[in-house]
Structure 1
Amino acid sequence: MTAALLAGLVAGYGIAVPVGAVGAYLVTLTARTCLLVGVCAALGVATADLLYAAAAVTGGGAAAGAVRPAAPAMELGFGLVLLALALSTAVRALRARRAAPDALRAAEPAAVLSPPRAYAGLLGITLLNPTTVVYFTALVVGGAAASLDGPAEGTAFVLAAFAASASWQLLLVGGGSVLGRAVSGPRGQLLTALAASLVIGAQAVALLA
């Protein structure tokens, strides 16, 4: 059981720690909205990791076989979603800068993205992430998930992977909250949003190229 827990923690941190476009969006989202929205978005990312870890444990080779043919389409969808995120983040920031920035920022968390929408949105985006798909497919065919013995160890592995992913995403949210306080002025908000848009857009272009 201890080995399954450790394997799950390693798997969860292994997929969560490399900060890509989703991580950059999570930090910026928290900086520009509120802590509750960021926490819900972080849990959406971690839930996607939980679902893929569960599929790796319960589906075995069948799950890997089902995922591989869908991976190119998921990569295309993920790239398009990232491109839309980059554009919408930049456009929203520029509109806020031109309008009444303080009033717009005060209304933005409730009007633009509620906590449930943040959770659902980041869950959907992460499920489309081809990196997550490839990672957990590797666990199925020959990694940690292949050596688990029985449902108890499988459950321990999945829950540990979820806990690791959630803890890292929440750490990013904490950083986003601090960043939001540090760049609370209109110019800081604009520069933060545009920087995140560039990071997300670059990864989108790399996926679609």
Structure 2
Amino acid sequence: MGTDASHVVTAALVAGLLAGYGIAVPVGAVATYLVSLTARTSLRTGVCAALGVATADGLYALLATVGGAALAAALRPALGPLRWASALLLLALAVRGAVIAVRQYRGRRLTTRTDPAPPSPARAYLALLGITLLNPTTVIYFAALVLGTPTTDAVRPLEQGVFVAAAFLASASWQLLLAGGGALLGRVLTGRRGRLVTAVVSSGVIMGLAVRMMLPS
């Protein structure tokens, strides 16, 4: 009996890790913004932002294990409006990032004006948490995985906990890797022109991905 429970928990652990990496690894607008934000600010800010993304993935994994098909079905009608809201928010962030980069570049060249304060780690965490929560396809993704895995009632709560924790850790490890890459990029591009080019290119990529989100699939 104990061996069976151990096998089920191990299976939930592996399933959670695979699910977490499966939803986190594809590089989209949020990942691009995370790297760009870390490059422009600091590793501490990037780490907090990365944990915001991972927290949203973990919450959706928890909702999927608890709500299952009912929750996924309830969210389907809201997919369109939430996708548009997420895309518009990302567009606003992209435009803001490009404008600030150009303003900083011109300000340093023409005047001695001080730069605007970068977002605090707490603000970065909440911003990335909110953006990621606007993507309800994540909970449908997790729900499909959970519903496709047969379980026994005796170990169901433990299995759910292991699955959610593993999904969170997988997502967090990938997001932290992206934040580390952004920090390294920020150290390399220390010049005014390098940071300007990076910010503008990143904003362009985010805009393209956001517009793609609004197109019918």
The change in CA–CA distance for 1:182 and 1:3 in structure 2 (over 3 A counts) is same
Could you tell me how far 1:160 is from its partner in structure 2?
Answer: 0.2
Task: Show the counterpart of 1:81.
Answer: 89
Q: Does 1:122 align with 2:131?
A: no
Cα deviation, residue 203, structure 1: 1.1
More deviation, 19-28/130-139: 130-139
Relative distance call for 1:193 and 1:147 in structure 2 (3 A) is farther
Show CA shifts across 1:83-112 (max 9, x none): 1111111101001101127x878x65xx23
Alpha-carbon separation, structure 2, partners of 1:190 and 1:129:
29
Q: Describe the shift of the 1:169–1:104 C-alpha distance in structure 2 as closer, same or farther (beyond 3 A).
A: farther
Asked if structure 1 preserves the Cα contact closer than 8 Å seen for 2:63 and 2:139, the reply is no
Report the TM-score, using the length of structure 1 for normalisation.
0.91
Contact 2:65-2:143 within 8 A present in 1 as well: no
Name which of structure 1's ranges 13-22 and 65-74 shifts more when overlaid on structure 2: 65-74
Aligned residues: 203
Partner residue in 1 for 2:198: 192
RMSD over equivalenced CA pairs, Å: 1.8
Within 5 A, what are the aligned runs for 1:1-209? 1-100=9-108, 108=116, 111-140=117-146, 142-144=147-149, 147=151, 149-209=155-215
Residue 5 of structure 2: aligned partner: none
The 1:130/1:56 distance shift into structure 2, 3 A limit, reads closer
Query: 1:51-104, CA deviations, whole angstroms, 9 ceiling, x for partnerless residues?
Result: 000001011122112211111111110111111111111101001101127x87
Q: CA deviation at 1:143?
A: 3.4
Higher helix share: 1
In the alignment, residue 71 of structure 2 is paired with which amino acid?
A
- Tell me the TM-score normalized by structure 2: 0.88
Corresponding letter in the other structure for 1:90: A
Once the two structures are overlaid, the 10-residue window that deviates more, 158-167 or 147-156, is 147-156
Distance 1:56 1:115 in 2: 28
CA distance in 2, matches of 1:81, 1:181: 28
Deviation, structure 1 residue 133: 4.1
Gaps (5+ residues) in structure 2?
A: 1-8
Identity of aligned residues (%): 59
